[in-house]
Amino acid sequence: MTHLRPHASSSMVRLNIGGKKFCTTIDTLTQSEPESMLAAMFSGRHTVCQDSDEGYVFVDRDGKHFRHILNWLRDGIIPTLNDSEYSELLREAEYYQLIGLMDGIKSALNKGKENEEMGTELTRIDIIKCIQSEKVRFRGVNLSGIDLSKLDLSYVDFSFACLKNAFFSRANLQCAKFKDVDAEASIFHNATLRECEFTGANLRGALLAGANLQSANLQDSILIDCSFCGADLRSAHLQTADLTNANLEGANLEGANLKGAKLTNTNLKGANLQRAYLRRVNLRDTLHFFSQHLEGAKLDGANLLGAIR
């Protein structure tokens, strides 16, 4: 046996899990679940044993479900399994200390059951109890219609959750994660959303009026019919977001990046677009565009046909 001390994050790793062999990268093993046992093994802080003949790192666990673990680390998707298989995968997730995967499996196991802790019956009181812990994750959980207004939910991970019609008014959600959530028609009125992650989120019809979204990441998100009236979107990332019919009246978009965003019928009346990045943006038929603050805005290649003065 030789010893391996990983140092390049993109390096390929060969794993032998109970006789089943897998190939992946250090990035996959360390980035999605940075506090897991796998991340610790390949963080570079520890030396792991490597088979000198074939170059595999051996882990004495059943490899039956390890492909699901790798797919979770790559994509964040919970596989569709029967209850017994979920139970087996849960044991493996617990061994590898994959908290997000554990939460997702528990949610899948309890789907459709009444009054289960991780099912659809989570209440405001349940959430308050949960956020007293050091790290909170509600990845993949159904929280439709829940009232979480005025709570401190900073750094909470809601990725892949169902948040339809949820209430977050005046909540502190700084640095929270909403990656790929379904938050259609949710209320974020006057919420603090600085540096939040909304990549790929569905926020169709959501109310974000008066919200603080400074440096928030809304790339590739669906923002159709959203209200951002008076919102603070300074330095926000809105690349390729769909803002069709969105209301940005009075919003502060200073330094925001809207490259490739769709702004058809978007209301920008009174919006501040100073130093905003608008290259290759489709501004066709955008309402109230030319009355805006545009000092230093980058408009190269923007489609301005039909924009109303």
Helix (H, G, I), strand (E, B) or coil at 15: strand
CA angle, residues 161, 144, 104, in degrees to nearest 5? 30
Site of tokens 């190939």: 23
> SS3 string of 19-41?
CEEEEEEHHHHHCCCCCCHHHHH
Distance CA 227, CA 199 (A): 18
Distance CA 114, CA 78 (A): 21
Distance CA 218, CA 56 (A): 40
- Looking at residue 281, its pLDDT comes to 53
- Looking at residue 119, its pLDDT comes to 42
Distance CA 202, CA 157 (A): 16
User: Do 2-110 and 122-309 have matching folds?
Assistant: no
Q: So where are the chain's domains?
A: 2-110, 122-309
Angle between the 66-75 and 99-110 helix axes, to the nearest 10 degrees?
A: 100
Q: Are strands 20-25 and 48-50 parallel, antiparallel or unpaired?
A: unpaired
Q: Of 225, 162, 156, which Cα lies nearest the Cα of 191? A: 156
The CA-based dihedral angle spanning residues 73, 79, 85, 91, taken in that order and rounded to the nearest 10 degrees: 20
* Structure-block tokens of residue 138: 């509600």
DSSP-derived letter for residue 61 is S
- Work out whether the CA dihedral 190, 191, 194, 195 comes out positive or negative: negative
Count Cβ atoms within 10 A of the Cβ of residue 47 and give its class: 0-12 exposed, 13-18 middle, 19 or more buried: exposed
Tell me which CATH code domain 122-309 carries. Answer: 2.160.20.80
The superfamily CATH assigns to domain 2-110 is Potassium Channel Kv1.1; Chain A (3.30.710.10)
DSSP-derived letter for residue 66 is H
- Work out whether the CA dihedral 21, 25, 26, 28 comes out positive or negative: negative
Phi/psi for 268 (5° steps) reads: -110, 25
DSSP-derived letter for residue 134 is S
One pLDDT digit (tens) per residue for the chain, 309 residues: 444 544 444 588 899 999 999 999 999 998 888 888 888 888 777 666 666 567 888 899 999 999 999 999 998 888 888 888 988 999 999 999 999 899 888 887 776 343 344 444 567 777 777 765 555 678 888 899 999 999 999 888 899 999 999 999 999 999 999 999 999 999 999 999 999 999 999 999 999 999 999 999 999 999 999 999 999 999 999 999 999 999 998 899 988 998 888 888 888 888 888 877 765 555 554 544 444 554 444 444 444 444 444
Distance CA 36, CA 38 (A): 5
Q: 244-264 burial, b if ≥16 CB within 10 A, otherwise e?
A: bbbbbbbbbbbbbbbbbbbbb
The maximal CA–CA distance of the chain, rounded, in angstroms, is: 73
* Structure-block tokens of residue 292: 């805006």
